[in-house]
Structure 1
């Protein structure tokens, strides 16, 4: 069997068992195959690390300096190098695998079979809602005469980078919300035919908040879970996996989150009345923050009446108070919220990571 069956080089996704989780995430993200292969010094396969393994570790607040061996799947499905392509594809289909390592008789890794190419060519009918109505006040004077989504990162507007990343994954039904300088956005993107997709616009006469904008969508056209995101984000998150995650978790919505660490610059004292229980010098607090990407069910969209002014966190809190489930999807991939001038400058330096 050829060792280069995948679209990208599998040699670039090899890590050792003692590799820190943070470094393994970088390897996985750069490899673009949604998997890292854990091997010993002789290239014998010890395990695999997938997006799902990483997200489960993040949800458990595993430290990023944890060794990969503590997080990896130690009993991955494998294919023998003597198998035919047809047999491998049949096994992958039966086991619903997106990729499978190929090993020889000594358990040494010799290749990786992937369904990546087939998946990329399949269309995704879920509608996408891009929020592009903000004023971008923290980026003035750049936004005095240009809406933030049209500011260029590299040689393309931010919103075009977002659109093209989604088009590349098979999405073709787009809605864009506008408010500030809407005619510039509509003139640039038109009806989407330039990208071979459909784009419809909804206009906020007054700012309604991210949740309120849902009330402007044509309810009869939101017939599947809606992917929704802010129009000032740069990310390499896997949108297909996000949709699959949402569909598996029986929730009215799914919010993407990022792990955020903050070091308290002082010694923290735990007390019991007038007595000290413990002391910790400059502890690091970990939490999840809203990443500005959501999947929302048609039910939630239909619940937002036209003209309602509400942001997404409040809308989701209201849903939870009503007994509905809201899931969270940890994003470990590249992610940058272009909110301030420093973020915009950083985006110019990191655009090649997209």
Structure 2
């Protein structure tokens, strides 16, 4: 419960601009309109301000003209479960809490119900050399490089765990002991981690032949140098709904040719297109595979994921693409690493 609710409190005579400043300062997308005795008179959200502007109000309009005068509220002496149920039923992000006299005592935020545990394994490829990120990777493996306050691989694991996935296999090679030492058995993150040691370079699919037991349900394979906000549950359901042998995430990529492109027929010019933009999809390094696919992977040798996908296509197995429109970045080069650092606060720390 937020006890310092006064940071988002405004008077009914405050201007729209002042109320908007309070919403911004509190970073909770709500302001509480109160009188001099802390009685709740109304609430203001981003939506209330937007609707007021659309009907012609200005930044100087008093808040009492556009506030919600009948907001949902809770009682401070109720159980927390009742507060959460009220917010869930009415699609609220926050709920003002009142005492028996109608004075505000606090502001509570909605906490989504915990995800159910999901048994689908997650295989994370964390054995790469990180050559293009040297000298950063001279002393530690790329998955342990920090983006913000956390190693890349830690953010990946936490993202899966918050969506209910807890069974992890981490494939190790370069400086693998450092990764093992950081994560241990995974208990700290609510995970169960099993490590797979690659004694030689085996590619992004070859290491799957080293799984201690064959998966009994669809499972994820993901490169350990990616950051993404993809909904893994939605991705899994997409894979199952299409009865796919493999589903690979793809990302739209565009390239603009910086010249006029001439199409020829022999020496004859057929068209001239100035600086055309080409659009195509690239492999995003995130896969869902059906268990039977593992039996196709040869033991002990190098076998990359593109080889596996093409072998499945040759055998006319159903392969589907899942377009990523959420945040995604492949931290393969120094420029990507620097961009991820810039993105971190906005993407990973925004509520």
* Interval containing the TM-score (normalised by the shorter chain): 0.5 to 0.7
CA deviation after TM superposition for structure 1 residue 345, in Å: 1.4
The match for 2:287 is 294
Of residues 191, 199, 204, the one that matches 2:198 is 204
* TM-score, length-scaled by structure 1: 0.66
- Segments of 5+ residues of structure 1 without an aligned counterpart are 1-30, 32-40, 44-98, 103-114
Matches within 5 A, 1:1-354: 117-118=112-113, 120-220=114-214, 222-352=215-345, 353-354=347-348
1:219–1:301 contact (8 Å) kept in structure 2:
no
Of residues 125-134 and 295-304 in structure 1, the stretch that sits farther from structure 2 once superposed is: 295-304
List per-residue Cα deviations over 1:56-82 (Å, max 9, x = no partner): xxxxxxxxxxxxxxxxxxxxxxxxxxx
* TM-score, length-scaled by structure 2: 0.67
Backbone CA RMSD of aligned residues: 2.7
For the residues of structure 1 that align with 2:234 and 2:213, how far apart are their CA atoms?
25
1:191–1:199 contact (8 Å) kept in structure 2:
yes
For the residues of structure 2 that align with 1:178 and 1:100, how far apart are their CA atoms?
47
List per-residue Cα deviations over 1:301-353 (Å, max 9, x = no partner): 12213213111011100110011111100101111111111111111111121
**SS of the residue 1:142 aligns to:** coil
**SS of the residue 1:314 aligns to:** helix
**SS of the residue 1:121 aligns to:** coil
**SS of the residue 2:112 aligns to:** helix
For the residues of structure 1 that align with 2:342 and 2:266, how far apart are their CA atoms?
51
For the residues of structure 1 that align with 2:284 and 2:262, how far apart are their CA atoms?
32
For the residues of structure 1 that align with 2:111 and 2:320, how far apart are their CA atoms?
26
**SS of the residue 1:177 aligns to:** strand
Point out which structure has higher relative CO (alpha carbons under 8 A, 6+ apart). Answer: 1
The match for 2:3 is none
2:248–2:320 contact (8 Å) kept in structure 1:
yes
- Segments of 5+ residues of structure 2 without an aligned counterpart are 1-28, 30-49, 53-88, 93-109
Runs of 4 or more off by more than 4 Å in structure 1? 99-102
For the residues of structure 1 that align with 2:111 and 2:272, how far apart are their CA atoms?
50
For the residues of structure 2 that align with 1:190 and 1:333, how far apart are their CA atoms?
30
CA deviation after TM superposition for structure 1 residue 100, in Å: 11
The match for 1:66 is none
